[in-house]
Each structure stands twice: as structure tokens, then as C-alpha cells.
Chain A
């Protein structure tokens, strides 16, 4: 699989990252290098091998169904560029 400039532009748009037109060729090239490496990994035959999800055997940590957090409206909104009446205020988004 090879990434061209328009695919690179699409990926950037999906990730909401602004990339100038003249930076696209280099970006596409970088993607291709990464994908080339992945393709190399794909050559290894892993049939019947369980995916390794952690280095030491671990069980997904769980929590009891108890309310232990929240009630911190002010802290939650502290870094918001704009907040009003307890809400985050963002430029209008209507589909």
C-alpha cells in the first residue's frame, strides 16, 4: 500500500491537523516509511500465536460501581477557552 498526497491530506483532515499544501509530499513519504516497516512485520508468520497484550500476565483492572468522583465543575471547566453557566461554550455545531 502506498500513500499519495491526497490520502495524506485526508488523514490530516480526519485528525484535525492542519498541514500546508507544500508539506504534503514529505508527510506522504513519512507515512510510506512507517507502512513499509509494518509490511516488514507482516512477513512474520504468527498463525496460531496468541496476541501478547502485556509483558507480565495481567488482568484488566476493575472498579466497583460506586460514585467516587465528580462534583468538580469548576476544575473541569478551568482550561476551557470559553465556559458559561456551567457549560463548555464552543462555536456553534449543528448538523
Chain B
């Protein structure tokens, strides 16, 4: 693999009233597997269906119904694990996590506490300023999603929709390696990017297909390093868990306010209670969600309805062989093979469709020129139409055609932009359009010279000024371009002007 090297980012320091504090953050990210059917039933996972229409009897926990696991979901969990360079456990098992809530009709959630399918991995989180944080992943396990409760349709009743109940989630648990709100946002976006490359989760945060519980604690500078050396959590502060966040902006705000709340308690001589909190973006505060008396006691035990899940190394190897090139590798390749800047490579690899588009255009062409056209012209134009790359009316072959015409000096950069607009709005083969509409660059110095002579003859005053101040030669370039309809080769024009005015 091509490795790019990064410096470690500095941890965020918050100045309290008495002294400085640092943040320690761990995240549990819930990613919905992109499957057609649920984890243990044949009901659809489709979003936005009639309430309770995507429900099999096993999802509604009807007596006697038994779960049967969806093989595709297992494969996606393994794929995700491989994508995070994590170890895959050939034997894993399902446990029941017991709690009562109306959107969890069985009274338990099937999860994998004791033997998760994926073990330790690592994610490199780039922060865009030349620094990157390696975040260790502790585990990934599969579990069922709950249904949805709606509290605002009736004053006395809550309404329950079980369409989402039983949909397969991957819970990706990080170590407490994240050290600032920005890193937390970048971490979840990096997971999203990798899973979208892998095709295991569509990463739609708005619809809740990717959401996070964020564990936040604060410590004095130096304490975290002692934790890393010894592995002893005693060096860290007591953490609070902020539940169910599905926006990177709110995640950052919530971490910031939660850290400041904890610092205020500690500096006043108090102690932080380990608890679950919710973030209220309107008030900009976190609040206790469950009081201690109701503290959950999940009484996990192995699910007697499900045998341990055994998978074969051969199958894992096959999945590994089918993995696409992942973002880190792609970015490194774009930088090394095409000479792109880190920034351009990041933009082009942000999503797999953009990266594949660039790859298709850059094949056999100048990488930097291609990157400029894809990022500045194509992305810019698509943005204006509020389209993404998958909706581009210009195919890689068409954009490649435009770039070839520039590279061969057949058209000028200015004409190329006009040509691009024609291809974008009308379609067609760039080379044919240039031919048919007479857009070819004039490299015939005779024609350019004739045009220039005419301009010189008509503007004697400008000629005198330009002779004294060579910077004014630009005016003549403009005039020649105008006279030739922008088709004159700028290089040839410049050379001729320099000769004539000297």
C-alpha cells in the first residue's frame, strides 16, 4: 500500500476558570446495513413505507416466531470490518439485551455483546490541515434496530411504527482516541466515506441510517498520555454518553457544551456522574436522559433461538478479494501517480463516484489538467445545477475529449470553457463540435500577424505607451483575441506582440 504520512493533530485544550482541560472522546456509530430485507426476517427495509407494513410476525415478536439470519447482512459486516483493517472473528454469537420499550416488542434486542463478528481495527482520520488522527476501532457487532415512536400525534398516546424494528445495524465502537469536536465529526465522516466505498451502508444521516452515541470526558493535560501508556482508564475522567446524534454539526456542539459542563462541575469541586444525556440543539445544552434509579440493567444472555455464527476463512478471503480500492489507497495513488495536491486528491476521493469519474478521465491524460477540469469546471457547473456527479450530463469520455483538444493546442483555454458549456447543455462529441462550429485555435501566425498589424496601425498612441511600459502589451493580446473570436493561440499572440513592440 502507498502510505501518506501525517503529523498528529494537537488535542483541543479548553481553558477552565482554574486551569486547562483536554477532551477524550469515544464513539459508538450505528450504521444501517444496505440490505433489502431485515436481519432476522424477510420484511423489507424500505424507508418511508406505510406504518407497520414492513413487519413480519417475528419483528412484532409474535409468540413462537423464530429469527433466521440474513446472510447478506453477515457479509456486509465482514466487508466493513475488512474495510477498517479489522480482524474478523470466524465464530461470533448473538445475545439478548433486555429492556422494555414499546418500540422493542420482544422486550429484548438481539445484539452481539460477548462475541462480536469483528474485532480490532483502525481508521485514519485526516483533518485537512496536514494532520491525521489514527482512531482505534474496538469492535463491530451486528444488532437489530428498534421501531419508531411518535409522541406528537396525540396528547395522551404514543404511536409506534415497527417498520424499522429488526433492520440490521452495525455498531462500530471506537476506543477513546478522539481528542476534539472536529476530530469526532471527521471520524464519522471517514467511516461514512469508507462504508459508501464498500457499499455496506448508504450513510444517509438525515434519515438516521448513520448515527452516533458520543462518550465525552475531560482530563488534565498529560493524563491521556498516561492512559495510553498504561491502558488504565483511571487516568481519565468520568464519561457521559450523549445519545443518538445524526448531524456532524450537532455532534461538535454537543461535545463542546458537555465538556464545558463537566469542567464547571469539576472546578467547583464536584464529581461528574456517569450517565446518559441528550443534546438539545435549540437550548444548546445536554440533559440527563435516564435517572439513576432507572439505570438500565440489560441482563444480557446468549440468545437461545440462535446458534453461534460460524463463518469460513475462505469466504472471508473471497470478500476481501472483492473489496474496492479504499479512500486512503485511492488518495495516495492520485497524489503519487497523477501529482495531485493533497487537497485535490481529497476532493476527488470524497465519494467513490467522483473518484471513479476522475479515474476514467485521467486514464492516459495529464492528471493535474484533468483534476482542474473535474473539480473547477465540472463540479462547479454541477453545483450550480444542484446536481451530483452521478447526474453529470458530461460523460468521462466527453470531458476527456475536451481535455485532449486543449492538450493538443487545438483549442484555447477560453474556447475550451465555451466548448464545455456546449457539451454540458447540448451533448455531442467535443472534437466534432469544434470542427463543425469553427472553434479551432488559430495557430497560423500569418493570420494572427495580419490581425495584429491592423490593430497596431489603428492605435498608434497605445503602441507608444506599450513600448515604454511592456505591461501594457496585455491590451494588445485582448484586442487580437477579440478580433479572432478568441481562437488565436495565446502563446503565438504573445510572441508576435513582443516582437512587434520591441
Q: Can you name the residue of chain B whose Cβ is closest to the Cβ of A54?
A: B307
A87-B308 in contact given A63-B42, A63-B70 (Cβ < 8 Å): no
A69 touching B41 by the CB < 8 A rule? yes
Tell me whether B233 is interfacial, beta carbon within 8 Å. Answer: no
Tell me whether A86 is interfacial, beta carbon within 8 Å. Answer: yes
Instruction: Tell me which residues across on chain A come within 8 A of B150, comparing CB atoms.
Output: 87
A68 touching B37 by the CB < 8 A rule? yes
A64 touching B72 by the CB < 8 A rule? yes
Interface of chain A residues 38 through 95 with chain B (CB within 8 A): 53-54, 58-73, 76-77, 82, 84-95
B41 touching A65 by the CB < 8 A rule? no
A94 touching B158 by the CB < 8 A rule? yes
Task: Tell me, in angstroms, the Cα distance from A67 to B37 when the chains sit together.
Answer: 5
B60 touching A76 by the CB < 8 A rule? yes
B157 touching A86 by the CB < 8 A rule? no
B55 touching A73 by the CB < 8 A rule? yes
Tell me whether B477 is interfacial, beta carbon within 8 Å. Answer: no
A87-B160 in contact given A63-B70, A64-B71, A69-B42 (Cβ < 8 Å): yes
Instruction: Tell me which residues across on chain A come within 8 A of B107, comparing CB atoms.
Output: 16
Interface bits B257-294 vs A (CB < 8 Å: 1, else 0): 00000000000000000000010000000000110000
Task: Tell me, in angstroms, the Cα distance from A62 to B40 when the chains sit together.
Answer: 9
Instruction: Tell me which residues across on chain A come within 8 A of B289, comparing CB atoms.
Output: 95
Task: Tell me, in angstroms, the Cα distance from A43 to B157 when the chains sit together.
Answer: 51
Please report whether the interface of chain A is mostly helix, strand, loop or mixed according to DSSP.
Answer: loop
Tell me whether A34 is interfacial, beta carbon within 8 Å. Answer: no
Tell me whether A14 is interfacial, beta carbon within 8 Å. Answer: yes
B160 touching A60 by the CB < 8 A rule? no
A67 touching B42 by the CB < 8 A rule? yes
Q: Which of A53, A63, A84, A91 contacts B68 (CB 8 A)?
A: A63
How many B residues face the partner with a CB closer than 8 A?
A: 51
Q: Which of A68, A73, A77, A94 contacts B42 (CB 8 A)?
A: A68
Tell me whether B301 is interfacial, beta carbon within 8 Å. Answer: no
B55 touching A88 by the CB < 8 A rule? no
Q: Which of B57, B102, B278 contacts A76 (CB 8 A)?
A: B57
A14-B151 in contact given A67-B43, A70-B44 (Cβ < 8 Å): no
Q: Which of B70, B98, B161, B307 contacts A65 (CB 8 A)?
A: B70
Task: Tell me, in angstroms, the Cα distance from A67 to B160 when the chains sit together.
Answer: 22
A94 touching B151 by the CB < 8 A rule? yes
Interface centre among A68, A94, A95 (most CB of B within 10 A): A95
Interface bits B157-190 vs A (CB < 8 Å: 1, else 0): 1111110000000000000000000000000000
Task: Tell me, in angstroms, the Cα distance from A66 to B44 when the chains sit together.
Answer: 8
A62-B69 in contact given A73-B50, A86-B51, A90-B160 (Cβ < 8 Å): yes
Instruction: Tell me which residues across on chain A come within 8 A of B69, comparing CB atoms.
Output: 60-63
Q: Which of A10, A69, A72, A90 contacts B158 (CB 8 A)?
A: A90
Task: Tell me, in angstroms, the Cα distance from A62 to B73 when the chains sit together.
Answer: 10
**Shortest beta-carbon distance, A83 to chain B, in Å?**
8
B interface list, Cβ under 8 A from A: 35-37, 41-44, 50-57, 60, 68-74, 98, 100-102, 107, 149-151, 153-162, 278, 289-290, 297, 299, 306-310
In the A-B complex, list the 6 residue pairs whose CB atoms are closest, starting with the nearest.
A65-B72, A68-B42, A87-B159, A69-B42, A69-B56, A70-B43
